[in-house]
Structure 1
Amino acid sequence: MGKVGWWLGGIFFAFGLLFMGTGGGIAIHDQQFAGTAERATGTVTDIRSSRGARRRSQRTSRRRTYKPVVNFEDAQGQRHEFVSSHGSNPSSYEIGDSVDVLYDPASPADAMIDSDMERGFLPLLFLGLGGVFAAIGGGFLYVGWRRKKTIAALKLRGKKIMARVISCERDTSIKINGRSPYRVTAQAEHPATGKISSFRSDPVWVDLSDALDGQEVPVLVNPRDWKEHYIDLSQWVDGSARA
């Protein structure tokens, strides 16, 4: 996985924490608001529609959402109107529906519908997305940590063999700023079984096709399981060239 895994993992994990923090902040704010807000009964007087972008295959369409307009009377008998921040398709409300309202007594225009959907949608959305991003980032970081630990163990206790270079090709499954790193593939015969084992290097940003043409490279292997291996390319690339 190399630096690419750490880089991707760090970005995903950071965004995950940011989203989860935002969701938690919204939930705390709404809870505090509900604790100090006045309550009233409002009426849905209108349904407003808006369009949001939605990507469908190679085309971007516009998906219409509907938000209720609510009119209510505060404790002083003054009437106020607000548009719900939560929209849906189809609309969750109809004109004439009665709804519970929470409003700030110091600023009655700061109001919201008192329902689980209205109060819980944004926090759950941010917490859910944040959890997914954090899990993806954590997975990348864990794989990177495991690989780093494996390489350290192979350098300490692994068996060194020489393997014949087969190819040096781009790993198109990885793309950073439109670029894909290279991986070296080498093969060697297992002395005990006589079978040919293949080895794949960690990604590097240098095309070693010419430098390794017809060459052998050192490979550190776990004597009990050659699937656990590390191709040592330090003779041809430095740390800055590792992906």
Structure 2
Amino acid sequence: MYMSKADKMVRLMWRIFAGMGGLFVGIALAVALLQFQDLEGRVETQAQIVDFGNGGYPIVAYEAQGQRLTCQLNFRSSSMQLGQPITVYYRPEDPGQASVKEYLFPLIFGGIGGLFLILGSIGLAVLRRGQRRREQVFYHGRRIKAQITGYGLNYSVRINNRHPFILTCQYYDAAGNTLYTFKSRGIDYNPSQFLAGKQEIDVYVDGENYRNYYVDLGSVLPDVKVVQG
């Protein structure tokens, strides 16, 4: 079955979305796991923000092993204020170094990744559904001979600053006294030289349902490689 460059680009775009989303989610999960492992074995205690050091990082004071200690955290947030209570964690063997739970990065990174993954997966699912529908009609549908009525640019689609061509054709159903018009999928090149002298094209329809159809460009056009200068 013919697949235009536009179809391939759309599929590639959704694959990139899904791939980037999966990568972002994986990174967020890995960071969250590392942070969870880092907190294992630490002792939880309540601290208070007493100052802000270089770069706006908070300095906290807390009680640990009978001592009052201070340290500068390696995490900051715009919501932190002087005198604010905060939960910190320290290792018994090194009580002078405390840390906090940092969920912001995994949540934001994972949220963006999850959105990309969902959008990419939905896009690919829609493409696969359309491809299966066309294959079903092509391999199991009824073939009719439609009259080629013309071709032109599809201005609703642009790939690399170029609009693909589409071919239009018609079929007259004498039994129902109905004229059906069909449009092909995108064509990567001007098909005029290959359509010279050709009046008919194969169209596959789903039984008597002419709304579910597939215009077989391969029946009149060669599968040529397009090189753009």
- Shorter-chain TM-score category? 0.7 to 0.9
* CA distance in 2 between partners of 1:201 and 1:154 (Å): 14
Amino acid at match of 2:201: V
Q: Is the 8 A contact 2:70 2:96 kept in 1?
A: no
Higher strand share: 1
**Hey, what does 1:121 align to over in structure 2?**
104
Cα-Cα RMSD:
3.2
Superposition TM-score, scaled by structure 1 size: 0.71
With 162-171 and 28-37 compared, the bigger mean Cα shift is at 162-171
Query: Runs ≥4 in structure 1, deviation > 6 angstroms?
Result: none
Residue in 2 aligned with 1:99?
86
The equivalent of 2:3 in structure 1 is none
* Structure 1 gaps, min length 5: 50-66
Structure 2 equivalent of residue 148 of structure 1: 131
Match of 2:99 among 108, 111, 127: 111
Q: Determine the C-alpha separation between the residues in 2 that align with 1:216 and 1:109.
A: 80
What's 1:82 paired with? Answer: 73
Structure 2 runs not aligned, ≥5 long: 1-5
- Contact 1:47 1:95 survives alignment (8 Å): no
1:7-38 deviation per Cα after TM superposition (whole angstroms, max 9, x unaligned): 12211111111011112112212221222334
Distance in 1, matches of 2:161 and 2:44, equals 54
User: How does 1:128-207 map onto structure 2 within 5 Å?
Assistant: 128-161=111-144, 162-175=146-159, 177-207=160-190
> Which amino acid is 1:198 matched to?
T
Aligned residues: 214
Q: Distance in 1 between matches of 2:154 and 2:50?
A: 59
Q: Aligned pair in 2 of structure 1 residues 192, 24: CA closer, same or farther (>3 Å)?
A: farther
State, as a whole percentage, how many aligned pairs show the same letter.
22
Match of 1:36 in 2: 41
Could you say which residue in structure 2 is the equivalent of 1:222? 206
CA distance change for structure 1 residues 215 and 232 in 2, over 3 Å: closer, same or farther?
Answer: same
Rg larger for:
2
Preserved CA contact (<8 Å) 1:165 1:216: no
| CA-CA distance at 1:188 after TM superposition | 2.7
Do the aligned partners of residues 156 and 48 (structure 1) sit closer, same or farther apart at CA in structure 2, a change above 3 Å counting? same
Distance in 2 (alpha carbons) for counterparts of 1:139 and 1:38 = 44
